[in-house]
Amino acid sequence: MKRFKKAVSILLTAALSAATFAGFTFVSVAAGESVSAEVQGSYTQSTEAQDITVRVSVSGLTTPYCSFGFEGGTTVPEGFAVKSFSTSNTAQEITSGDYNLSNGKLTYTTSDTEDTIPGDTYYDMVVTAPSNASGEYDIVFNKVKIFNQYGTNELVGVDKVTAKLTIAEATSATPGYTVALSSDAPAEGVAKGEPFNINLNVSNTEATTFNAFSGILSYDKSKVSYTGNDTIGEFGVVNDSDAGTLKITRANQDVDISKDPDLSLPFKSEAAGDAVFELTSASVKVDEAANAEGQDAPAAAVEGSPLTVKVLETYTITFAGGEGATGTAPTKDPVPAGTKIELPDNTFTKEGWTFSKWSDGSSEYAEKAEYTMPAGNVTFTAQWTEDIAVTPASANPTAYFGSQYKLIAATINASGYVPTYDGNEMFQVQGYDDNTWYYVIDGTYDSSKFGYTAGTGVTIQKPDNDVNQTGIVDINDAQFVYNIYNGTAPTQNIVQRLLLADTNRDKTVNTQDCAVVVQAI
């Protein structure tokens, strides 16, 4: 069906075209609709060929259509050339088969001749102007037509639409003087609250001196503030903060450009955004003494104006010690997002705890680690690990075997560590208090000898009355306990054997332990 419609469309379009050239008059634009052509942008005479964009627009057309074109081609000035066509209709681009660059003819039709081109679609044509062209020119689009209903109905027909092109004549600056506007702010931008300078530099390819200077520099008062004085070197500066302008003057005989060409104007960034600086006027006089404000000096060429300095939003960095910590927090100045900072050393203390890392709430970082600032305020909180502490269970250990041996006990607050006494690991004893470690000493008790070591330790299991660990409970086990009680303990694995001898788990070795063994026998 679509092929049939397209065939009909092509035949009807051909017939309409033939009828037109046979003398039929063109259909005028309907009421409320208009076709216009306008040059996009402004153009100045150039020593190089330059491209000019002309836009043809349709206004007031409320229905979509299927075909648009300049059936009579385009008339361009002598020396100009049609370069390309394009359209705002993103659904279908203009292709090379739709136009003829030699005569500027355009026939743009939907691929299936359906009425899918929006009524507000516009068309751009680029023409190339020759080098050094200047003046007033007409670019004429001939026999502009719009069709719908598969190309059978002419919606719009205009004999010609003209665009006016002006290429301004290039003018040269007053003899050689140039005033360049620049800034020492980083290219990526200056942080809010930070200072920077706007620089004016007077130069001349021929002269080496000037006698007077006058200029007006405008600045974005909502983004920056002027922080300088009313005199900077030999320059006078009048700041109108309400208007956001600086009036800059200098009236001295024979200012040496090579030695004193620059003026640095100090500013401070106040709010995030693009701060625009523009040297709206600059005059330099070279020959005779000018008046005090240089107003009789001719205008100079200006470079680098307008100039944009990006002011970056800054975000705060706060440090907190966390619950139970004391001390003065480190400080960091606010910085923009993306800034790399070095995290400070910890200045907080927490009794019984040791600082481990800084945390921003999602990740942890060591002291002096590099951190990239996000687009938001950040609080770093100190992270702590509890100090390992071994606590004696008794300041006065009780006798274990008469007066010779004493049972000492301690607790530790960290898993994965074993308390030690005099460098020897202590033991946990089944049947004694949970979470307490034990050791038997022969001699004077010294609480300073407690320490700890990494490990899981050894648990002395509840004895099965096989005290001497031979695998059999017999009279030798009773004798073993009795020998210990009488102070003739073995020398090998002495502490473990002593703890095994407490068969009734009353934390002392005596005749009752021996009786337990005898009863078992």
Taking each helix axis as running N to C, give the angle between helix 475-485 and helix 511-520, from 0 to 180 degrees, rounded to the nearest 10. 180
2-168 against 314-386: fold identical: yes
Extract the runs of DSSP E, i.e. beta strands, from 290-375: 301-303, 307-312, 314-320, 332-336, 340-342, 353-359, 364-365, 370-372
DSSP 3-state of 436? coil
The domain spans of the chain are 2-168, 177-312, 314-386, 390-520
Q: Which residues contact residue 163 at a Cβ distance below 8 angstroms, ignoring those fewer than 6 apart?
A: 37, 38, 39, 54, 56, 138, 139, 140, 141
pLDDT of the chain, 521 residues: tens digit per residue: 333 334 434 433 443 333 333 332 333 444 468 899 999 999 999 889 999 999 999 999 989 999 999 999 999 999 999 999 999 999 999 999 999 999 999 999 999 999 999 999 999 999 999 999 999 999 999 999 999 999 999 999 999 999 999 999 876 544 578 889 999 999 999 999 999 999 998 888 777 777 788 889 999 999 999 999 999 888 899 999 999 999 998 877 677 777 666 789 999 999 999 999 999 888 887 654 444 444 445 667 888 889 999 999 999 999 999 999 999 999 999 999 999 999 999 999 999 999 999 999 999 999 999 999 999 999 999 999 989 999 998 766 766 765 678 889 999 998 899 999 999 999 999 988 888 999 988 878 898 999 999 999 999 887 788 887 788 888 888 888 887 777 666 666 778 888 888 888 888 888 888 888 888 88
Strand (E) positions, 13-151?
A: 34-40, 43-44, 50-59, 67-70, 74-75, 81-87, 99-100, 105-109, 122-129, 135-148
Beta bridge partners of 371: 341
CATH fold group of domain 314-386: Immunoglobulin-like (2.60.40)
Cβ pair 227, 292 in contact under 8 A: no
517 — phi, psi (to 5°)? -70, -45
Question: Going by DSSP bridges, is the β-strand pair 437-442/405-412 parallel, antiparallel, or unpaired?
Answer: antiparallel
User: Based on the number of CB atoms within 10 Å of its own CB, is 283 exposed (0-12), middle (13-18) or buried (19 or more)?
Assistant: buried
Torsion of Cα atoms, 468 then 469 then 471 then 475, to 10°:
10
In CATH, which of 2.60.40.680, 3.30.70.20, 3.40.50.720, 3.30.499.10 is domain 2-168? 2.60.40.680
Q: What single-letter amino acid sits at 303?
A: E
CA-wise closest residue to 391 among 452, 334, 349, 338:
452
CATH of domain 177-312: 2.60.40.680
Confirm whether pTM is higher than 0.95: no
Please count the CA atoms within 13 angstroms of the CA of 187 that sit on its side-chain side: 0
Instruction: State the DSSP string of 270-300.
Output: -SSEEEEEEEEEEEEE-SSPPPTT-TTSPB-
Q: What angle do CA 146, 113, 87 make, to 5 degrees?
A: 55
Question: How many H-runs (helices) and E-runs (strands) does the chain carry?
Answer: 4, 39
Output the CA angle 229-235-240, nearest 5 degrees: 50
